[in-house]
């Protein structure tokens, strides 16, 4: 979006959850329209696309649709292609995946090819940019690489570590996506995009270790480690779910190397090599400038409907002699590297148990250590409600026999005080849910009381005037 605006385009952003874009600097630009839409609803989507000259299709349901993601992607692409045709859109631009066609092509990469063909079915010319691994802060493939290298000095790997790959820096991908708009020769064309190097994964792992300042990582390839087994290992060691790791791991068996370089002449730019791309991505993480993250993807379920059935509640409150803004900032610091204040060892155990059960655990962390936005992941929670200086609502995404919500509400008190209300809600699912609630009840005092006290300490520290 920032690059499109910088190039002088007016942009209509069609999004499932508009609240996820609140707080983005470009969202208030007069040239930006934000529209809520469901890609499965072709008639309403047609209305949202009317008047647009080109449409970027950057949709992939690999994580949100489980094993049926390929069929889901095909259906959404068909709906979008028809809507674009009916709305009079002149062209579609799609970011797909590299990989030679054939019987051995992974389901993940085959799905990308299906989407290419399906988008074009309605007759709108499609410009396809096919990329291998995109190296950029917040991307799923980059996060897998970073966490594996950081945490494992010795890796038992599948044979795919010898597979050749031609990664590309995210800034180069963005330049191609925006650049093709101004080049009529790219309309209806299929282009391979990649960086200047084609390396095997073992070489990329070595470069990542060097850029992280780590000793050499030792790789032991074995023939019996299947993509599914690899995905479960990725799930345990990295923040990513095995649901997204399975198709990514399957795709690693296919060489993904550019077969032509036409795009480099049509949209010239300086291409970063693998080391430069990794260094740029790591610098974004260090500078706290991660714009988006893989963990933000997926539908927003919203707050659970708490009407009907048994709902257990743990409510606590504390008066704090600081402005509401300081308390809100302290709440927004929860999770990630800072932890949850009270009994962090209990949180760590719960996170490990959740990972073993197939949940996200604590490893997703958070995008920014200070700022929370609607829709973001916060360890094994999701931000489902946020009002600056007033409230934050977190919905549990860990494996639970029920539904859980953690709410923080700030109310004005007397003489400059504010009252922080902290409420944990749990609706059990069957007998197992009841057993779970009473089993964890003894831990509520150190966990929830400790959290409240920690927020209070942070808020007081935040409110202190800066020392000179």
Within-domain flag for 186: yes
232 CA to centre of own chain: 19
Kindly compute the dihedral angle of the four CA atoms of residues 17, 18, 21, 26, in this order, to the nearest 10 degrees. Answer: 150
Q: Find the CATH number of the domain harbouring 377.
A: 3.30.530.20
Q: Quote the pLDDT of residue 50.
A: 93
For residue 465, the 8-state DSSP code is P
Considering the domain architecture, whether residues 219 and 318 belong to the same structural domain is answered as no
Return the residue matching tokens 């190397």.
257
Kindly compute the dihedral angle of the four CA atoms of residues 133, 137, 142, 146, in this order, to the nearest 10 degrees. Answer: 150
Q: Quote the pLDDT of residue 223.
A: 73
- Alpha carbon distances (Å) from 53 to 71, 183, 229: 28, 14, 45
With a threshold of 0.85, does the pTM exceed it? no
Residue finishing a domain among 289, 324, 356? 289
Question: Phi and psi for 385 in degrees, rounded to 5?
Answer: -165, 135
Q: Quote the pLDDT of residue 344.
A: 84
The alpha-carbon radius of gyration of the chain (Å, integer) is: 24
| Structural domain count of the chain | 2
Considering the domain architecture, whether residues 219 and 281 belong to the same structural domain is answered as yes
pLDDT by residue for the chain (468 residues), tens digit each?
A: 999 999 999 999 998 888 888 778 899 899 999 998 888 888 889 999 999 999 999 988 765 445 577 888 899 999 999 999 999 999 999 999 887 655 566 776 788 888 999 999 989 999 999 998 899 887 877 888 888 888 888 877 777 778 888 999 999 999 999 999 999 999 999 999 999 999 988 898 899 999 989 898 888 877 766 666 766 667 677 766 666 666 666 667 778 899 999 999 999 999 999 999 999 988 887 766 667 766 666 666 655 555 556 788 999 999 999 999 999 999 999 998 888 987 888 888 888 888 888 788 877 778 888 888 888 888 889 898 899 999 999 999 888 998 899 999 999 887 778 999 999 999 888 788 889 999 999 999 999 999 999 999 999 999 887 765
Q: Quote the pLDDT of residue 181.
A: 96
Burial (Cβ within 10 Å: 0-12, 13-18, ≥19) of residue 300: middle
Considering the domain architecture, whether residues 326 and 230 belong to the same structural domain is answered as no
Q: Quote the pLDDT of residue 304.
A: 58
Considering the domain architecture, whether residues 272 and 328 belong to the same structural domain is answered as no
Within-domain flag for 13: no
In 11-160, where do the E strands start and end?
11-15, 32-36, 54-57, 91-97, 126-131, 134-135, 154-157
Considering the domain architecture, whether residues 211 and 113 belong to the same structural domain is answered as yes
Within-domain flag for 11: no
Considering the domain architecture, whether residues 67 and 123 belong to the same structural domain is answered as yes
Q: Quote the pLDDT of residue 65.
A: 45
Within-domain flag for 135: yes
Write out the residue range of the structural domain in which residue 263 sits: 37-289
Q: Find the CATH number of the domain harbouring 149.
A: 3.40.50.720
Considering the domain architecture, whether residues 195 and 333 belong to the same structural domain is answered as no
Considering the domain architecture, whether residues 240 and 278 belong to the same structural domain is answered as yes
Within-domain flag for 2: no
Burial (Cβ within 10 Å: 0-12, 13-18, ≥19) of residue 315: exposed
Closest CA relative to residue 451, chosen from 379, 374, 376: 379
Contact predicate 94/132, CB 8 Å:
no
Question: Helices 274-286 and 201-211 meet at what angle, rounded to 10?
Answer: 40
Q: Quote the pLDDT of residue 297.
A: 67
Tell me the DSSP string of 269-302.
Answer: -PPP-HHHHHHHHHHHHHTT-----GGG-S----
Within-domain flag for 294: no
Q: Quote the pLDDT of residue 146.
A: 83
């Amino acid at each position: 979006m920032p690059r499109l605006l910088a190039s002088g385009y007016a942009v209509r952003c069609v999004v499932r959850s508009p609240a996820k874009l609140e707080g983005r600097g470009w969202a208030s630009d007069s040239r930006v329209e934000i529209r809520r839409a469901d890609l499965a609803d072709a008639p309403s989507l047609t209305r949202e696309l009317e008047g647009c000259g080109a449409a970027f299709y950057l949709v992939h349901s690999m994580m949100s649709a489980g094993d049926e993601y390929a069929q889901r992607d095909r259906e959404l692409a068909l709906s979008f292609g028809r809507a674009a045709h009916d709305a009079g859109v002149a062209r579609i631009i799609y970011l797909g995946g590299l990989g030679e066609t054939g019987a051995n092509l992974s389901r993940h990469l085959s799905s990308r090819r299906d989407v290419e063909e399906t988008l074009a079915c309605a007759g709108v010319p499609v410009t396809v940019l096919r990329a291998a691994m995109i190296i950029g802060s917040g991307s799923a493939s980059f996060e897998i690489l970073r966490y594996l290298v950081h945490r494992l000095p010795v890796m038992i790997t599948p044979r795919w570590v010898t597979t050749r790959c031609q990664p590309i820096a995210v800034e180069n991908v963005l330049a191609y996506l925006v650049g093709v708009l101004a080049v009529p020769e790219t309309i209806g064309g299929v282009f391979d995009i990649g960086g200047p190097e084609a390396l095997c994964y073992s070489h990329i792992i070595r470069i990542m270790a060097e850029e992280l300042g780590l000793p050499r990582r030792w790789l032991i390839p074995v023939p019996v480690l299947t993509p599914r087994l690899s995905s479960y290992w990725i799930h345990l060691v990295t923040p990513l779910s095995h649901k997204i790791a399975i198709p990514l791991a399957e795709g690693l068996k296919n060489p993904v190397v550019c077969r032509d370089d036409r795009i480099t002449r049509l949209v010239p730019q300086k291409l970063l090599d693998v080391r430069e791309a990794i260094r740029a991505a790591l610098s974004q993480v260090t500078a706290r400038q991660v714009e988006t993250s893989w963990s933000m993807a997926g539908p927003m379920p919203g707050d659970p409907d708490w009407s009907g059935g048994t709902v257990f509640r743990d409510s606590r409150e504390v008066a704090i002699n600081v402005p509401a803004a300081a308390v809100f900032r302290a709440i927004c610091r929860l999770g990630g590297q800072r932890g949850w204040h009270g009994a962090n060892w209990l949180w760590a155990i719960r996170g490990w148990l959740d990972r073993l059960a197939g949940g996200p655990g604590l490893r997703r962390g958070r995008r920014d250590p200070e700022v929370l936005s609607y829709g973001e992941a916060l360890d094994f929670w999701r931000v489902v409600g946020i009002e600056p200086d007033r409230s934050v609502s977190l919905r549990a995404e860990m494996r639970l026999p029920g539904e859980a919500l953690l709410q923080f509400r700030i109310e004005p008190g007397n003489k400059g005080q504010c009252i922080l209300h902290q409420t944990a809600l749990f609706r059990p699912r069957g007998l197992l849910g009841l057993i779970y609630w009473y089993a964890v009840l003894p831990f509520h005092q150190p966990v929830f009381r400790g959290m409240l006290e920690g927020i209070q300490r942070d808020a007081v520290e935040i409110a202190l005037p800066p020392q000179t």
